[in-house]
Structure 1
Amino acid sequence: MIDQRSSRLQAAYCEYIFEVFPGIDFRRWCEWGEWGDDYRAFAVVEDGRVIANTSVSRMRLRVQGRDIVGYQLGAVGCLPGHRGRGLARAAMTAALAHCGDAPVLLFANETVLEFYPRFGFVPRPQHVFGVEHSAAPGPAPAPVVDLADPAQRASFRALAAAATPISDRFGARGHGSIATWYAANDLASPLRALNEDAWVFAKIEGDVLHIDDIVARAPFDLREQLPRLIDRPIRALRFGFTPDLWWPQAQPVEVEADAYLFVRGLAMPSLPDRFPVLART
C-alpha cells in the first residue's frame, strides 16, 4: 500500500499513472502536498516499479440527506506489458478488502465496463442538469482564486472541510483534495471567491454558464450572485452536480455520455442525479 508517507513509492506511482493514463499526472498534486491520509494506492510493485494498481479515496458521501462514510476507487489498471496475469484483479481485491462493507463507487473507463460487475458493482447513469435563465454581468466581478498559491490553497482546503452539502440527493462533502487535483492538472473551471465563505468553480461556454461546484460554509442565493460570476450575458445554466439544494427548478437535460458510474453497497434513490464532477477520482 502507498500512502502519504511513501515518498519513494509515490514517485513510482506517478510514473505508473503517466504510462497507463496518458495525459493524467499526479506529480504537481503531490508537490502541492495534497496527498493526504484519505488517499491510498493498493499497488503491485515489482523491482521498485508500480505495475498494477487500484487507488482508494475515503469519502464523506451525502445520500438522501444523510452523511455516509464511503470510498471511491480510481487509477485502476495495469501496465500493458504485464496484463493477463490477474494483477489488476489482485489490486482491486486488496482495495475492496480495505473498504470492508462500506459503500464504494467508481467512474470507469469505457474500455473496461465489463470488469467491475464481477466485483458486485452496478452501473448508474449520470444526468446533466440545466435551466434556462438569463443574466448580465454586474459591476463587481468576484476575484479569481489561484490554487497554485499555497496560502489560497490552504484557505480553500479549510473552507471545503467545513462546507455545506452540495446536494442532499447524491453528492460528497469535504472533497477539497480531489478538487485540487483537477486544479493541479488545469482541468478545473476558474474558482471565484464571492466572499471568504463562498467560492464557486464556474466557466462560460457560449452563452451558457457551467457551475461545476459550490464551496460555501452556508447556503446563499445563487441567483443573486450570478452577475459576479460572468463577464458576458448568459441565457442558461448547467450544473456539475445535482442542484437540488441550489436550484431546485433545474431538470435533467441529457444523460452524461462519458460518465460510467458504478456503485456497490449503496442504496440509491430512484431520482436522477449527478455526482459532483470535481469529486470524481
Structure 2
Amino acid sequence: MASKRVPTVTEIGPGTSALHAAFCDYVSRVFTRADFRRWTQWGEWNDDYRTFAVVDDGRVLANASVMRMRLLLEGREVTGYQLGAVGSLPSERGRGLARAVMNAALAHCGDAPVLLFANKSVLEFYPRFGFEPRRQTLFSASHVARPGETAAPQLDVAEADVRARLRMLSDEGLPVTERFGARGTAAIASWYAANGFARPLRALSDDAWVFTEVEGETLFIDDIFARAPFDLRAALPRLIDRPISSIQFGFTPERWWPGAVEAGEDMEADLFVRGVPSPREANLFPVMART
C-alpha cells in the first residue's frame, strides 16, 4: 500500500507579499469575523509574525500562524510563541492538512514556551500536540467615580504616527502585567483596532495610553501602554464619560490595581499552553495580546 503523502507546507512572512492576499482570503473564509487585510495594509505584519500554510494553485488551504513574543512569566522575560489562525478550508477538512501545518509551526517554535487561545469547537485537537488547558481568571474592582472636567483625548490607530508611538510604548515601556503577559504586543493590539474589535484608545499623556470604555456603570480597561507607573485611580475621571461603580480588567492588574478581586473564571478564554510554567497566583493573559 502506498504511503500517504505529507502535504508541502510553505512559510509566509512579511517578505512573502505575493502570498499575503491568499492568506487574507483564507482567514476570511475560515474565521468569518476576522480579517488581516487592513492590518497588512497598515504595514503591521512584521518579522515576528509567520504563517505556515498548505498552498495549492495560489490558494491557502490550511494554516497555522506563529507570533514570536517577549513573554513575561512571574517577572522573567523569555522568548515564546503564540499560535493563531489555525485551521483549514471547510472543503479541505479530513485530509490531515491542519496536522501538517501545526507540526510545521511547532517545529519553528522549537522548545520555547507556546500558548494559544482555542475556539470551543476544537478543544480536543490541541492536546494531541502536547498542549494542556490553563485556567484564566477575571479581575474586577468596586469603585465609584465621576467624569472629570477634562477628558483624555481619543486616538485613531489608523494613523501611522499613533501606531508608531504605540509600538514604542509597548517595546520600551512597562508590560501591563508581569505575572503572565508580554512586552512588545503593539502589532497585536493594532490588529484588534484594524478589525474594529478594540475599545477606544485614550491618551492620558504622551507616555500613558489606555484602551478603555464605559459600558453601563462598568469601566472596562483592556490594556495600558505606559513608559512608567502612574496613579490609575487618580486618572479615572479623565477616562469616563459617565459615573461608574465598578472596573473590569482585561489583564492581571497586580501593578495597576492591587486591590482587584477575582471575579470567576474567564469562560471565553480557552487557553492552551505547552512548556509554559503555571504562575503561582491567578492570572489573566492580556486580552489585547491574544492572537
Q: TM-score with structure 1 length normalisation? A: 0.99
Paired with 1:239 and 1:163, the residues of 2 have a C-alpha distance of 19
CA distance in 1 between counterparts of 2:167 and 2:279 reads 30
Give the letter aligned to residue 189 of structure 1: R
Matches within 5 A, 1:113-152: 113-152=123-162
1:109-168, CA deviations, whole angstroms, 9 ceiling, x for partnerless residues?
Answer: 100000000111010111110010011111111000101111222122222111212112
Q: Distance in 1 between matches of 2:251 and 2:24?
A: 28
Q: Secondary structure at the match of 1:59?
A: strand
**Corresponding residue to 2:122 among 112, 116, 123:** 112
Q: In the TM superposition, what is the alpha-carbon distance from 1:270 to its structure 2 partner?
A: 3.5
Q: Does 1:225 align with 2:235?
A: yes
**2: distance between equivalents of 1:156 and 1:166?**
13
Q: Distance in 1 between matches of 2:173 and 2:45?
A: 20
- In structure 2, the residue matched to 1:61 is 71
Question: What does 1:15-164 correspond to in 2, within 5 Å?
Answer: 15-164=25-174
Q: Give the Cα–Cα distance (whole angstroms) in 2 for the partners of residues 8 and 19 of structure 1.
A: 19
SS at match of 1:12: helix
Moved over 6 A (4+): none
CA RMSD for the aligned pairs?
0.7
Q: Is 1:183 aligned with 2:193?
A: yes
Q: Partners in 1 of 2:174 and 2:25 — Cα distance?
A: 36
In the alignment, what sits opposite 1:274?
284
- Match 1:4 to one of 7, 11, 14: 14
Counterpart of 1:38, as a letter, is D
CA–CA separation in structure 2 for the residues paired with 1:233 and 1:163: 30
Equivalent residues in 2 for 1:257-268, closer than 5 Å: 257-268=267-278
Find the residue that maps to 2:19 and give its secondary structure: helix
Shift of 1:68: 1.1
Distance 1:17 1:165 in 2: 29
Identity of aligned residues (%): 61
Query: Is residue 177 of structure 2 the alignment partner of residue 167 of structure 1?
Result: yes
What are structure 2's unaligned runs of at least 5 residues?
A: 1-10
Determine the structure 2 residue equivalent to 1:196: 206
Specify the SS of the correspondent of 2:61.
strand
Q: Alignment length, in residue pairs?
A: 281
Q: How many angstroms apart in 2 are the aligned matches of 1:150 and 1:273?
A: 33
2:259 corresponds to 1:249: yes
Deviation at 1:52, TM superposition (A): 0.4
Amino acid at match of 2:149: P
Between 32-41 and 150-159, report the one with greater CA deviation: 150-159
Inter-partner Cα distance in structure 1 for 2:175 and 2:193: 21
Secondary structure (helix, strand or coil) at the match of 2:138 reads strand
**1:10 match: secondary structure:** helix
C-alpha separation in 2, matches of 1:223 and 1:99: 40
Give the CA deviation at 1:30: 0.3
Show CA shifts across 1:59-92 (max 9, x none).
Answer: 0111111111100000000001111111000000
Q: Secondary structure at the match of 1:94?
A: helix
Structure 1 alignment gaps of length 5 or more: none
The Cα of 1:219 is off from its aligned counterpart by: 0.8
* Structure-2-length-normalised TM-score: 0.95
